[in-house]
Amino acid sequence: MLVPEVIERAMAAVADAQVLLAIGTTLQVFPIAGAVPHAKEVGARVVIVNDQPTPMDGLADAVVRTPIGDALPLICGV
Per-residue pLDDT, 39: 96
Per-residue pLDDT, 17: 95
Indicate the pTM of the whole model.
0.86
First-last CA distance in the chain: 34
**pLDDT tens by residue, 4-29:** 899 899 999 999 999 999 998 899 98
**pLDDT tens by residue, 17-73:** 999 999 988 999 888 889 999 999 999 999 999 999 999 999 999 999 989 899 989
**Ranges assigned E (strand) in 1-78:** 19-23, 45-49, 62-64
